[in-house]
């Protein structure tokens, strides 16, 4: 037999080890014929076994600290690389693709963008949005993401200043409340990055997502608002469902709607120090199809 260094369990092996140990403990605790596990009011685990005379012997062991569990009088450590129920990988990383289009001036503009991943549904109405649907039949989107399409198929028009569309436009009645959506594989709460002028009156929030086994920062742009939520300020933490602002048409007087855009910050960019005026710069962020990060409807 060939000898060699001991095998270090891979993450999946360790997860199976956790489950196996847990099942073994459950069997010993739940089915041991003459012993039971109890938690005393003092917070210590006690194991009681009957004496032949009918009296009881109680032995105490110290409560095990977080990340460990009791096993025959000792506290056994769990591997610290992952916890039960957590996804150590998160979402796949979206590929950065080079594209370009002709600006209204006739100049060719090259850019990078992150198109919809193949694992994400193409149907916009499969996703959860910050406002209820405003179109007949429960439809949400009147103008979708098109920066992954050939130049001739990207949005442009006589009244539009820009070519192409890096987000989704969600029509709704003026003043409709906008509530924060927790993104797919988001870690912790969102943080307010900017409140004020951007795409009309806007709110920008920063979200940390787990992708490909590491954490990445994204910025969501809520544009053309009637106004932000009262008291909203940079640095404020927002939980899922928090009020962001109200649907309006500032900077877009022809259409009352919410412009929702997602951008992934590049490696090395410190999201905590980022100022709104730099968000759109090519060396700071990459525009991303929002369907990559929005949660799916149940």
Quick: pLDDT tens for 187-207. Answer: 999 999 999 999 999 999 999
Q: What is the pLDDT of residue 232?
A: 98
Q: What are the Cα distances from residue 162, in Å, to 104, 105, 109?
A: 7, 10, 11
Domain range summary for the chain, segments of one domain joined by +? 11-77, 97-292
Nearest to 100 by CA among 154, 139, 167: 154
Rg (CA), the chain: 27
DSSP one-letter code for 26: H
Query: How many residues would you count in the chain?
Result: 298
- CATH of span 97-292: 2.70.70.10
pLDDT tens, residue by residue, 209-264: 999 999 999 999 999 999 999 999 999 999 999 999 999 999 998 899 999 999 99
Do the beta carbons of residue 271 and residue 97 sit within 8 Å? Answer: no
Residues 206, 204: Cα–Cα separation, whole Å: 7
- The stretches in the chain having pLDDT less than 70 are 1-62, 65-69, 72, 76-86
266 and 236 Cβ atoms separated by less than 8 Å:
no
């Amino acid at each position: 037999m060939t000898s060699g260094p001991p095998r270090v369990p891979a993450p999946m092996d360790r997860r199976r080890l956790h489950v196996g140990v847990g099942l073994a403990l459950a069997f010993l605790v739940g089915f041991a014929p003459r012993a039971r596990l109890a938690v005393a009011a003092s917070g210590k685990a006690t194991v009681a076994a009957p004496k032949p005379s009918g009296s009881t012997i109680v032995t105490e062991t110290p409560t095990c600290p977080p990340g460990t569990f009791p096993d025959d009088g000792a506290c056994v450590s769990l591997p610290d690389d992952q916890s039960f129920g957590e996804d150590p990988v998160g979402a796949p990383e979206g590929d950065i693709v080079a594209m370009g289009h002709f600006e209204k001036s006739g100049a060719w503009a090259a850019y990078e963008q992150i198109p919809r991943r193949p694992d994400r549904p193409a149907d916009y109405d499969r996703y959860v949005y910050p406002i209820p649907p405003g179109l007949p039949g429960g439809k949400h989107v009147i103008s979708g993401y098109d920066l992954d399409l050939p130049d001739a198929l990207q949005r442009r028009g006589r009244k539009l200043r820009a070519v192409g569309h890096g987000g989704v436009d969600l029509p709704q009645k003026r003043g409709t409340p906008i509530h924060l959506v927790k993104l797919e594989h988001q870690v912790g709460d969102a943080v307010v990055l900017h409140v004020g002028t951007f795409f009309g009156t806007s709110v920008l929030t920063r979200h940390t997502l787990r992708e490909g086994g590491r954490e990445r920062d994204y910025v969501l742009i809520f544009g053309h608002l009637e106004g932000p939520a009262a008291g909203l300020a940079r640095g404020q933490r927002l939980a899922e469902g928090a009020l962001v602002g109200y649907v309006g048409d500032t900077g877009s007087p022809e259409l009352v709607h919410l412009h929702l855009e997602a951008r992934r910050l590049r490696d090395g960019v410190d999201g905590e120090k980022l100022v709104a005026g730099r968000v759109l710069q090519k060396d700071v962020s990459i525009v991303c199809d929002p369907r990559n990060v929005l949660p799916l409807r149940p």
